[in-house]
């Protein structure tokens, strides 16, 4: 059994002991979080960049004929890809004019991020359609939130809501789909 000499044995040092302690680990995590928050506050996207990125996402959605029938997974993938791509042009410019006729997008800056909200008659308080963080804009919208035309919601007082789906083709104006709202009384589609 050997005897350890004090000259040859050296401890790991006070800084290593501090980093391994609970207080030291908390301090390191706090410094890293502080640096991330500092970078986030310095790279908050401007209102103009948020509006341009949201309009680009809206154009890509309006150009896609399958956007109206997309589910949550399709919307997630489309929103993720539009973060890094740009729409070349819109197929029908009147759709974008119609979109801005019935919808309004407002950008709200915060300390570490910014958000964009879509306001229309279905969502008067607004619904979040984008988050801006670290200089990037991440859209979170889908086609079902857009209001592209206005019309009657019910055929008469205290009747069921008319549910029409957008198929991408023009159905003309004033189409009569029969008595489809009254299916529980046996009068569906005008048949008795």
Question: What is the dihedral sign for C-alpha 22, 26, 28, 29?
Answer: positive
pTM, rounded to two decimals = 0.61
From CA 178, how far away is CA 161, in angstroms rounded?
Answer: 14
- Give residue-wise pLDDT tens across range 97-125: 888 888 888 999 999 999 999 888 777 88
pLDDT bucket at 127, cuts 50 / 70 / 90 = confident
Q: How confident is the model at residue 34 (pLDDT cuts 50, 70, 90)?
A: very high
């Amino acid at each position: 059994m050997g005897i350890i000499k004090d000259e040859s044995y050296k401890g790991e040092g006070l800084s290593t002991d501090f980093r391994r302690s609970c207080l030291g680990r908390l301090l390191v995590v706090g410094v890293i979080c502080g640096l991330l928050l500092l970078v986030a506050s310095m790279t908050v996207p401007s209102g103009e960049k948020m509006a341009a990125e949201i309009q680009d996402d809206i154009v890509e959605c309006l150009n896609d004929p399958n956007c109206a029938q997309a589910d949550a997974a399709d919307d997630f993938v489309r929103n993720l890809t539009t973060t890094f791509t740009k729409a070349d042009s819109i197929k029908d410019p009147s759709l974008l004019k119609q979109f801005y006729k019935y919808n309004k997008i407002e950008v709200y800056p915060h300390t570490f991020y910014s958000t964009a909200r879509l306001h229309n008659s279905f969502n008067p308080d607004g619904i979040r359609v984008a988050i801006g963080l670290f200089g990037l804009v991440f859209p979170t919208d889908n086609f079902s939130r857009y209001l592209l035309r206005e019309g009657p919601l019910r055929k008469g007082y205290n009747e069921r809501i008319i549910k029409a789906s957008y198929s991408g083709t023009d159905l003309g104006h004033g189409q009569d789909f029969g008595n489809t709202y009254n299916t529980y009384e046996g009068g569906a589609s005008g048949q008795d």
